[in-house]
Structure 1
Amino acid sequence: MEFGFPELAAIRLGFGLSPHMQPPADVDAILAGLATAAPDGDAVSLDEARASALSLADLGKAARDGGDAEREKLNQLSRDLRDFNTIALQQRIARAIDDPSGFGERLVQFWADHFTIRAAAAGQHKLAVAFVDDAIRPHIGGRFEDLFVAADLHPMMLLYLDQTSSVGPNSRFGKARASQGRLAGLNENLAREAMELHSLGVGAGYSQDDVRELAELLTGISYNPKVGVEFLPNRAEPGAETILGTSYGGKRQPSADDIRAAFTDLARRPETAAFVSRKLAVHFTSDTPDEGLVTAMTARWRETRGDLAEVYRVMITHPALVDSFRDKARQPFDFMVASLRALGVTGEVLRGWDIRTANRVLMQPLGMMGQRWGAPLGPNGWPEEASAWITPQALSARINWILDIQKRVLGDDLPDPRELMLTAFGGTQSEKLAWAVPKAESAREGIALILASNDFNRR
């Protein structure tokens, strides 16, 4: 194989090569993707998400109290919100296809999965998109502590991890509920995931007591679509909470500032630097990453107090990026974007598809490949290991999609497979594939050989 850094970077760090743009020439060109991944004109604001949830609630009440007309309005809004979920996927894929280096949008995918959320109902669909636009995109090139606080204290995270139901047992509200024989207890979900999945990692030396103390500190913070995120002192557990040896709160009036201080300290701990650096290395290089790479990324993290752009720079320039080429399996979303990108489909074309086409070509196949849009199986997000994605059933779904898009998207305007091979791989193709593609009996067969190959399904 003969190829250079640009081809390697496009395949490993982005969504592959495209006939419409040159691969990133150097490290600075890759890091420029951090700016291009910022919120754009399609971003969903928290106000828009709140308004959507309130409208659905109002129509739900009207439908219960009214007749057929009110129920039809409710059904229409529910359909619109389901369509919105498809449009959100369409827009995300369009941005990924058009991202010059692909790295910015890959990071959006990584961090949105690291801070996993899931909309529980139609009324949360816009809030889930606002989570990415409001908490993830603005912070992927900044300091981890800012990203951490923005994500874990975002309304969507508060709802997903049931923080809105958490009440301090000794708070005024908690005691009043208890005196009435009504349950109003502490919920540890957000505290546990903040430490176990989002910062320190499993086995980092914290205890169940630390989790409970953080959960008690978190009481009082909640979300109401009518007012947004709010801190309710009467629900907050009184007194100071000690987390990993540091005391927070205990003032006369509980405050959300104490919560932000605790999260900032978690973000700055050396265990967080090691855990998240390793997770980045696993996602971008290998399921069993080079220990020298992880050590170097962790060291740079600690030197810069979590400057993510500097941590990425270490990863991009480390020899492990070359040494572990094609160790990683492309997840279904990545595979779909890389395929469309290699075939020359543009974001403009994709945005022009109607809902039916977007569902048929994007939403439904993604679920068939095992990565249902917006529906991770748990708070730990999607699996990284290749064995989770390269299975007979998943590969069959990928092949079916490849055959389907040739008819639905390309029609009779098929690229020459020999040219597509050069476009898609930039010289990184294996000798076996290079031998097989020119011998394909038809253009459709040649395209299928390329996109279904091990070379293309790994990066």
Structure 2
Amino acid sequence: MDLKAAIAAVRFGQGRRPGDPIPADPVAWLDSQLDPALPGPALPEDLPRDLPAIYRAFAEDTERLRAGGQGRPNQGLIVRTEMLAALTLEITANQGFRERLVAFWANHFAVARARVPYLAGHYTREAIRPHVAGRFEDMLLAVVRHPAMLAYLDNTGSVGPNSPAGQRGRRGLNENLAREVLELHTVTPASGYGQADVRAFAEVLTGWGVEGAREPYGFVFRPNAHEPGEKTVLGRTFPPGEQGGIEALRFLAHHDSTYRHLATKLVRHFVADEPPPEAVATIHGVLRDTRGDLGAATRALVRLDAAWDPPLAKFRAPHDFVVAVMRALEAPAEAADRAFGGLQYLGQPLWNPAAPIGFPDTARDWAAPEAMVRRIEWSNGIATRGAGRDAAAVAEAVLGPLCRPETLRAAARAGSARDALTLVLTSPEFHRR
């Protein structure tokens, strides 16, 4: 395995499985993973997977609780099956680059499954996954109109003060969704927006809610809760009604500050914690010139010299690390449950960040001493799955030229095969991508 193939697998992908084919052309291999026809998570046929079925399951749980029943069996089944299916795909499939993009954009548009447990899996499958190589405006619209985001950021109860519902005085304007879309998802404070823009955008989004008891079982626009009249956000005026919200989101999606923000985050994730300005400028230019084509930006990203040199410039977050370990040990599909537990133990629970900003993406946030000790403990426990594997062979297969001679010497001196494997899995180079 040459150096470029090794970097493609660990920096852009999620780590090699020893039996994976080695691509002759790593860039072409990465490009091929932008194909929207690639399969998503494999879900059981009887699992509630569309919004009507999910909301009916929610209603069944509600009725059971009202009748004095215990627990939430539908909720537990739905959310756990969705999570394990997603982790299984990451652990077993040879499309790590696409899965990394799904995780990146799901973290950019973070929701917490603790708040929307029924919906987190559907949200990732339907609002994020189909758009990772499409247009940013389509992803933004899908995200903001999805029940998970509307519920997570409290827009379902946001009422225009001068709307018919607002005049009755039961509820008021909620700015959470508007604020986070501006601050985190699109233009950022660098655009110069102010509190008046936040309030006006919140008014634009009034009436955007969720219907869970009947058709359409999902997004619904409620005119009686919508603030009447035109609104002005960042100097642009939008008409009243649902169409005004759509126009506002498209405007924000194509704002130059949005393109710069997205470029910075992509370069930070794939190149360096301190994004090189020239790399950011390149991706910013592609987004601007293609009107937010994420596929074009991603293809440009993998052609940046800085994305390949130096190797191992990024520290693996717990999610990256756990999946890479499972892949290195060629874990079977049923090991997804162990991976889920590992994410909980190492502080990056799947689809459950502590705040709308999502999980951090730099070494300083993940490389604290206590966190590293936990990685060693978890890796030593999971290394039992690699019983019988030669540590040096695993290192060669998954790291290739990225593996240091010091690691191989330390593994050779280990007191047991398990300890040798643990040394490889917790080596400095394995912690990086």
Common fold, TM-score beyond 0.5? yes
CA contact (8 A) 2:41 2:89 kept: no
Shift of 1:454: 1.0
Distance, in Å, in 1 between the alignment partners of 2:189 and 2:19 is: 43
Shift of 1:5: 1.8
Distance, in Å, in 1 between the alignment partners of 2:8 and 2:225 is: 50
Q: Does 1:19 align with 2:18?
A: yes
Shift of 1:38: 5.0
Distance, in Å, in 2 between the alignment partners of 1:277 and 1:388 is: 21
- Correspondent of 1:271 among 234, 257, 260: 257
Shift of 1:440: 2.2
Shift of 1:404: 1.5
CA contact (8 A) 2:61 2:73 kept: no
Per-residue displacement from partner, 1:210-231 (whole Å, max 9, x unpaired)? Answer: 1111100100111121232111
SS at match of 1:147: helix
CA contact (8 A) 1:31 1:103 kept: no
Shift of 1:362: 2.7
CA contact (8 A) 2:166 2:225 kept: yes
> In structure 2, what is the equivalent of residue 445 of structure 1?
419
- Correspondent of 2:59 among 31, 54, 60: 54
Distance, in Å, in 2 between the alignment partners of 1:86 and 1:448 is: 29
Per-residue displacement from partner, 1:225-258 (whole Å, max 9, x unpaired)? Answer: 12321111111001000111111114xxx2x222
Aligned length: 424
Q: Does 1:103 align with 2:97?
A: yes
Q: Does 1:343 align with 2:320?
A: no
Distance, in Å, in 2 between the alignment partners of 1:457 and 1:45 is: 38
Per-residue displacement from partner, 1:132-162 (whole Å, max 9, x unpaired)? Answer: 0110011111001101110122110000000
Distance, in Å, in 1 between the alignment partners of 2:107 and 2:90 is: 16
- Correspondent of 1:435 among 409, 412, 419: 409
> In structure 2, what is the equivalent of residue 397 of structure 1?
374
**Structure 2 residue ranges without an equivalent (≥5):** none
> In structure 2, what is the equivalent of residue 117 of structure 1?
111
Distance, in Å, in 1 between the alignment partners of 2:21 and 2:9 is: 9
Distance 1:388 1:427, change over 3 A: same
Percent identity between matched residues is 34
Task: Give the partner amino acid of 1:402.
Answer: S
Task: Give the partner amino acid of 1:232.
Answer: R
Per-residue displacement from partner, 1:120-140 (whole Å, max 9, x unpaired)? Answer: 45xx32311100011001111
> In structure 1, what is the equivalent of residue 202 of structure 2?
215
1:19-168 maps to which residues of 2 (within 5 A)?
A: 19-24=18-23, 25-35=25-35, 38-42=39-43, 44-63=49-68, 71-72=69-70, 75=71, 78-120=72-114, 124-168=116-160
SS at match of 1:222: strand
CA contact (8 A) 1:414 1:443 kept: yes
1:169-208 maps to which residues of 2 (within 5 A)?
A: 169-177=161-169, 182=170, 184-208=171-195
- Correspondent of 2:348 among 368, 371, 394: 371
Distance, in Å, in 1 between the alignment partners of 2:211 and 2:313 is: 45
SS at match of 2:402: coil
Distance 1:84 1:229, change over 3 A: closer
> In structure 2, what is the equivalent of residue 302 of structure 1?
288
CA contact (8 A) 1:118 1:376 kept: yes
Distance 1:86 1:142, change over 3 A: same
Instruction: Looking at secondary structure, tell me which structure has more helix per residue.
Output: 1
Distance, in Å, in 1 between the alignment partners of 2:27 and 2:256 is: 26
Shift of 1:34: 2.8
Per-residue displacement from partner, 1:51-82 (whole Å, max 9, x unpaired)? Answer: 2222222222222xxxxxxx24xx2xx14533
**Structure 1 residue ranges without an equivalent (≥5):** 64-70, 352-357
SS at match of 2:401: coil
Task: Give the partner amino acid of 2:403.
Answer: Q
SS at match of 1:229: strand
Per-residue displacement from partner, 1:67-125 (whole Å, max 9, x unpaired)? Answer: xxxx24xx2xx14533543333322221112332410000111011000101345xx32
Q: Does 1:314 align with 2:315?
A: no
Report the TM-score, using the length of structure 2 for normalisation.
Answer: 0.93
Distance, in Å, in 2 between the alignment partners of 1:55 and 1:213 is: 38
Shift of 1:350: 3.3
> In structure 2, what is the equivalent of residue 224 of structure 1?
211
Query: What stretches of structure 1 move > 4 A for 4+ residues in a row?
Result: none
Report the TM-score, using the length of structure 1 for normalisation.
Answer: 0.88
Shift of 1:282: 0.7
Higher deviation after alignment, 201-210 or 41-50: 41-50
Distance, in Å, in 2 between the alignment partners of 1:37 and 1:132 is: 15
Q: Does 1:331 align with 2:322?
A: no
Distance, in Å, in 2 between the alignment partners of 1:397 and 1:364 is: 13
